[in-house]
Structure 1
Amino acid sequence: MAAQDPFSLAINAVENDMANEVLDRWRDTAEQHATIEVLPPGMDMKTWPTVVALFQEILGDDGVLVGHQHRIRYCDPYAESPDEQEKRGSSAALLPATVEQIQAVLKLCNRHGIPIWTVSRGKNLGYGGPAARVKGSVILDLSRMRRVIDINDRYSYYTVEPGVTFFDIYRAIQNQQKNIWCSVPALGWGSVVGNALDRDHANQVCGMEVVLADGTLVRTGMGALDGSACWPLFRGGYGPSYEGMFSQSNFGVVTKLSLWASPSPEGFMFCRVDVQNEDDLAPLIDCFQPLLLHHTIQNHPLIGNLPREMVKRGQRAKFYAGSDAIPDARLKEIQEELGIGFWSARFALYGPKDIIEANYKRCEKAFETLPGARLTGKATYPPAGKKYLSPEDLPPEERTVETGTPSLLALKAVEYRGKDGGHISFSPVLPPDGSLAIAFYRAAKKICASHGFDYFGGLHLYPRHLTMINMIYFDRQSGVQRQNANKLFVALVHLAREHGYSEYRAHIDYMDLVAEQYDFNGGSLRRLNQRVKDALDPNGILSPGKQGIWSRKDRQGGELHKLQSIGLSDSPP
């Protein structure tokens, strides 16, 4: 978002141009607001320049950003509020390149009580981006820590630092001709580590290196055995396992992480199934669930509704001119115009040809029970002389995320309601049960419509759960849409709780609200998190308020109360 070199990480020039167009728009929007100097909490104007100079001694002049260029790079590009800087603007950004620099920064921040908000690359779009929760925080940006430490295709894992993007790891795998495929998200410019820590790939994590708030360096699992070759191979280690504790938390700064990957397959088939009717969602989910549980399908299917398909074909105004939710009758017309199902699912099959063909037949048999379902599949196998398939063996247009190929094509979706678009992601977790999913979908769609929004759904299916991600798109130039998006999100959180569900991650504005929903035994899990926080970070400097976890000083009258006073927290002290 800023005065940086043009973005060039994507695999092709078209996506790089798209990214730079979006970055320029974010910068232009940010430039509309004057830069105000923000100081860390409790810091005065006399002391702050001295502290900045000490940061520069640690990181070099180019490793410390303050003022205008810092502001336009480290704000939420999809912020609902035009006065975000006044509410939670950060004071500086620090860009370390080594563990030792992080340790020195933490020592200085502990001495002065300066809150730090850690980001790997700051691309957590729809959840706050690189912005901090507490006004005056310094942003600890780990994007310069960009080493791909190891790629091992004998055991199918890789070890990286937080600044490594999905484009970086993809290129490294191809350049080293390693026979592994990685899982990738919709947008490949984000951090592999940051993405895993937010739970998208948490099941593949095996081994972390973490700097605690006091500067102590810890390796989890077998990494605690100095020089162990089993660190990225065996999760258990000896004693308690801590990987989960450093996911979605503010207990430490993760500086290295290993992820398990998939061996390169001997074949790949991209599959799609369309169903015609809105109510077909329930039987569609029920068809998928046993196929996933029995590993017939080895990746996770993604089910999208009609509006989710529409965004690939242009802005909303192309299909409907009204400001209200698109009526069902018009949706039916659009469906007929596009010639697609109301729900469309995509998934993949992997393995030798006989395995793929056998599994495809199982899928055909399963979907035959759903009237009107249309299943298609296209298989690709290695060229002559090769045992394993590489994504590079496919035509560029067929290198989808299912092949481990990162992309930025989904970036344009944010323009659904306007060129200067924003979105919030609402992501509750449900059982993979069709009747429960359709009931919640109906209720959520009704609430979306009452606030003037289409239900924009993407359901990610797993053997034992699903995440029903609802993208709330709004035009950032519309104050009404921004306000209604906020009201809608809060209403959806409460609706989910009424149904017995809640989110697995949350935008920074709503972290306390979502934490409150986890209310078993009076919120005993949250209190446990607070006790751990107080033990590991007694000064409360690391990402205060992340996931609703606050230190004792903030709970007893500090930053939490300030957030409540400006409406950025519904949490009790």
Structure 2
Amino acid sequence: MTNHAVESAIREWKGLLGESGVVKTEDTNIGFSTIGAKRLIPAVLRPQCKEDVSQIMVIAQRWKVAVYPISTGNNWGYGSANPVQDNCAVIDLGGINQISDFDPEMGTVTVGPGVTQAALRDFLDQQKAEYLVPVTGAGPNCSILGNALERGYGITPITDHFSAVTKIEAVLPDGSLYTTPLSELGGSEIDRLFKWGLGPYLDGLFTQSNFGIVVNITIALAPCPETITAFFFSTKDDTKLEKLIPSVRAVLRTLSGSVVAINLLNSQRMLSMMAPFPENKAIDGVLPSHEIEALADKYSVPAWSGVGAIYASKEVAVAAKRVLKRILGPVTDRLIFINRRHVRAAQTIAQYLPGSLSTRLKGMADTLSGALEIMHGTPNEVALSLAYWRSGISPQPGVPKNPARDGCGLIWFAPLVPIRGKDARRYVQMIEEICPQYGINPLITLTTVNDRCFDSTVPLLFDRNNEVATNRAKDCYRALLSAAQKEGFLPYRLHIDTMDILGSEKSTCHLAEILKSAIDPNHVLAPGRYVSKIEKTGA
């Protein structure tokens, strides 16, 4: 790719999109990244419809200039809005933000890449539609479509967000439009209601790949249940983890459909939500065990905390509480049930308490309120504060949080772990041994993605303005990845600086690479993203 080719492509893109549709990187938030990655980006393209995207790809292929699509670019901890490789023009799809084909009876809706969690919530509220938004902790301004294509998940009833996708429409690398066979045959309505379509299932090829630019998806929404009750449990004794894990699995199997997901958090992860980071108490950036114990005692934080929600009718919810007490009671020190009414009461009481007691109760009630709103399918920024814990940066009041823009250092390590006590212990010991070696505090969450498997999210938090700390965090990720691979705890997604590991392993069948070379022989679309090119060898 030559400078002449890039300049020629940009000139044609300006003719297509106008001057305002092709902008310099420095005039946007694109280029910032919580993982400390920096890419050379020749231009940012802002299409407003799928036809624009199609023509962008035609021009890209003509000049063999690489492009990289993003939805909202808020891919915190995985690369944000940055391409995998240098010299890719970024296609910012945020302007394709239409919500269409909403079926209030069937609960399906079609969204473009720029539709955020907050936008879908507002739309459903305006429609007075009793459905839940598939929220995550990433915040209100993150893309519904982007999260589904990364195979993200949450704790609302449809936990696996891609499983809710019933239909995909995408622009292929040559600019042609991919639609599903049912829609091509005239069955667009039934296509929105049935995930698997007709013939080979191809929609999945567009997740975690570079086979096309998805311009809209149809998703099935979970209906609002009669009641939503959060439950919180904890154990002060770390040695009880092995007994707690099979009990979590038993809850999911016994209450399938009512309790869909459970989070387990270690004490340091809980403290990151409740207390400012005591920098003066840290040694090489890491809190010593006695300081952790002192903080945990001050804030009444146990060794392990758990949270989940009951989505059910009133009668079923009553029965579910009894089951939870029976299964979790013997392996926990505390099990409580909380709904919105309880939180409002606590917030009211806090107003009449003196000094620090009032502050502490209000802080706890506000955190619980944020967690409950997420369980109700309403996005908020309560979990996003984590990214700021080690940054020394205070978000501006009234300004939406943006960890990449604001200078936060965050890399997500997100491996899969079997829901077995002995495997969870092996995994926790691995994290607790490796992270402190690199100045990283081991903050651990275990989230059930089904009744067999956890996805663990470990935030590697660091000072992004410190080059040494940034490099150590990157080294920590590589060390964790290497150790986890030996132990069998592989990640469910990768960040942009580690996608090379997929091309480093020998395989007898490079099917993904073969497909990529067939539909994008010039490797113009998102080169290096999960699927790389086949390296040809001589005879």
Is TM > 0.5 for Structure 1 vs Structure 2?
yes
CA displacement at 1:90 relative to structure 2: 0.8
1:315 maps to which of 268, 273, 276: 276
CA displacement at 1:524 relative to structure 2: 4.0
Matches within 5 A, 1:20-169: 41-44=1-4, 48-66=6-24, 68-70=26-28, 73-80=29-36, 84=38, 88-169=39-120
The equivalent residue for 2:201 is: 241
Whole-angstrom distance in 2 between the partners of 1:514 and 1:426: 16
SS of residue in 1 equivalent to 2:460 = strand
Task: Answer yes or no: is 1:416 the counterpart of 2:389.
Answer: yes
Whole-angstrom distance in 1 between the partners of 2:445 and 2:185: 42
CA displacement at 1:69 relative to structure 2: 1.1
Whole-angstrom distance in 2 between the partners of 1:365 and 1:524: 50
* Deviation digits for residues 114-169 of structure 1 (CA, Å, limit 9, x no counterpart): 11111011111100000112211100110000001133232222210111000000
* Deviation digits for residues 175-195 of structure 1 (CA, Å, limit 9, x no counterpart): 101121122010221110000
- TM-score, length of structure 1 as denominator length: 0.81
**2:172–2:178: 8 Å Cα contact kept in structure 1?**
yes
Whole-angstrom distance in 1 between the partners of 2:6 and 2:484: 44
SS of residue in 2 equivalent to 1:316 = coil
* Deviation digits for residues 36-83 of structure 1 (CA, Å, limit 9, x no counterpart): xxxxx3233xx544432211111121111126315xx221331435xx
**2:43–2:90: 8 Å Cα contact kept in structure 1?**
yes
Letter of the aligned partner of 1:103 in structure 2? S
Whole-angstrom distance in 2 between the partners of 1:132 and 1:503: 20
- Residues 515, 196 of structure 1: alpha-carbon distance in 2 compared, 3 angstrom cutoff: farther
Whole-angstrom distance in 2 between the partners of 1:307 and 1:411: 16
Whole-angstrom distance in 2 between the partners of 1:301 and 1:532: 37
The equivalent residue for 1:541 is: 524
SS of residue in 2 equivalent to 1:308 = helix
Whole-angstrom distance in 2 between the partners of 1:228 and 1:416: 47
Whole-angstrom distance in 1 between the partners of 2:453 and 2:166: 22
2:263 maps to which of 302, 306, 318: 302
**1:189–1:408: 8 Å Cα contact kept in structure 2?**
no
CA displacement at 1:551 relative to structure 2: 2.9
Deviates more, 1:408-417 or 1:318-327: 318-327
Whole-angstrom distance in 1 between the partners of 2:439 and 2:23: 40
**2:258–2:312: 8 Å Cα contact kept in structure 1?**
no
The equivalent residue for 1:230 is: 190
1:431 maps to which of 418, 435, 441: 418
Whole-angstrom distance in 2 between the partners of 1:397 and 1:356: 21
CA displacement at 1:369 relative to structure 2: 2.0
The equivalent residue for 1:360 is: 321
Whole-angstrom distance in 1 between the partners of 2:55 and 2:313: 52
Matches within 5 A, 1:277-296: 277-294=237-254, 295=256
CA displacement at 1:298 relative to structure 2: 3.0
Matches within 5 A, 1:207-222: 207-220=167-180, 222=182
**1:296–1:362: 8 Å Cα contact kept in structure 2?**
no
CA displacement at 1:313 relative to structure 2: 2.6
Whole-angstrom distance in 2 between the partners of 1:472 and 1:319: 19
CA displacement at 1:278 relative to structure 2: 2.3
SS of residue in 2 equivalent to 1:287 = helix
Whole-angstrom distance in 2 between the partners of 1:454 and 1:445: 8
CA displacement at 1:355 relative to structure 2: 0.3
CA displacement at 1:373 relative to structure 2: 2.6
- TM-score, length of structure 2 as denominator length: 0.86
- Residues 311, 67 of structure 1: alpha-carbon distance in 2 compared, 3 angstrom cutoff: closer
SS of residue in 2 equivalent to 1:400 = helix
SS of residue in 2 equivalent to 1:503 = coil
Give the RMSD, CA atoms, in angstroms. 2.0
Matches within 5 A, 1:512-531: 512-513=500-501, 516=504, 519=505, 522-524=506-508, 527-531=510-514
The equivalent residue for 1:25 is: none
The equivalent residue for 1:452 is: 439
CA displacement at 1:465 relative to structure 2: 1.1
SS of residue in 2 equivalent to 1:509 = coil
1:331 maps to which of 292, 308, 311: 292
Letter of the aligned partner of 2:141 in structure 1? W
- Residues 223, 515 of structure 1: alpha-carbon distance in 2 compared, 3 angstrom cutoff: farther
Structure 2 portions without partners, runs of 5+: 153-160, 342-367, 394-406
**2:6–2:65: 8 Å Cα contact kept in structure 1?**
no
**2:371–2:382: 8 Å Cα contact kept in structure 1?**
no
**1:222–1:235: 8 Å Cα contact kept in structure 2?**
no
* Deviation digits for residues 70-115 of structure 1 (CA, Å, limit 9, x no counterpart): 5xx221331435xx2xxx3111011111111111110000000011
CA displacement at 1:399 relative to structure 2: 4.4
SS of residue in 2 equivalent to 1:248 = coil
**1:289–1:463: 8 Å Cα contact kept in structure 2?**
yes
The equivalent residue for 1:190 is: 142
Whole-angstrom distance in 1 between the partners of 2:99 and 2:475: 42
Letter of the aligned partner of 1:139 in structure 2? V
CA displacement at 1:459 relative to structure 2: 1.0
Letter of the aligned partner of 1:402 in structure 2? M
The equivalent residue for 2:427 is: 440
SS of residue in 1 equivalent to 2:87 = coil
Whole-angstrom distance in 2 between the partners of 1:137 and 1:452: 33
Letter of the aligned partner of 1:263 in structure 2? P
**1:367–1:373: 8 Å Cα contact kept in structure 2?**
no
- Residues 280, 297 of structure 1: alpha-carbon distance in 2 compared, 3 angstrom cutoff: farther
Task: Answer yes or no: is 1:487 the counterpart of 2:485.
Answer: no
CA displacement at 1:227 relative to structure 2: 4.3
**2:249–2:419: 8 Å Cα contact kept in structure 1?**
yes
Whole-angstrom distance in 2 between the partners of 1:470 and 1:278: 18
The equivalent residue for 2:233 is: 273
Letter of the aligned partner of 2:430 in structure 1? A
Whole-angstrom distance in 2 between the partners of 1:318 and 1:353: 47
* Deviation digits for residues 528-567 of structure 1 (CA, Å, limit 9, x no counterpart): 11001011111111100001x1235xx459xxxxxxxxxx
The equivalent residue for 1:10 is: none
SS of residue in 2 equivalent to 1:298 = coil
**1:222–1:234: 8 Å Cα contact kept in structure 2?**
no
1 or 2 for the larger relative contact order (CA 8 Å, sep ≥6)? 2
* Deviation digits for residues 207-247 of structure 1 (CA, Å, limit 9, x no counterpart): 10011111221123633333431112112221110121110
Count of residue correspondences: 486
**1:444–1:495: 8 Å Cα contact kept in structure 2?**
no
Letter of the aligned partner of 2:384 in structure 1? L
Whole-angstrom distance in 1 between the partners of 2:25 and 2:134: 37
**2:9–2:60: 8 Å Cα contact kept in structure 1?**
no
Whole-angstrom distance in 1 between the partners of 2:377 and 2:110: 16
- Residues 314, 329 of structure 1: alpha-carbon distance in 2 compared, 3 angstrom cutoff: closer
Whole-angstrom distance in 2 between the partners of 1:458 and 1:166: 23
SS of residue in 2 equivalent to 1:231 = helix
Deviates more, 1:224-233 or 1:185-194: 224-233
**2:8–2:63: 8 Å Cα contact kept in structure 1?**
no
Whole-angstrom distance in 2 between the partners of 1:312 and 1:259: 32
The equivalent residue for 1:475 is: 463
Task: Answer yes or no: is 1:259 the counterpart of 2:219.
Answer: yes
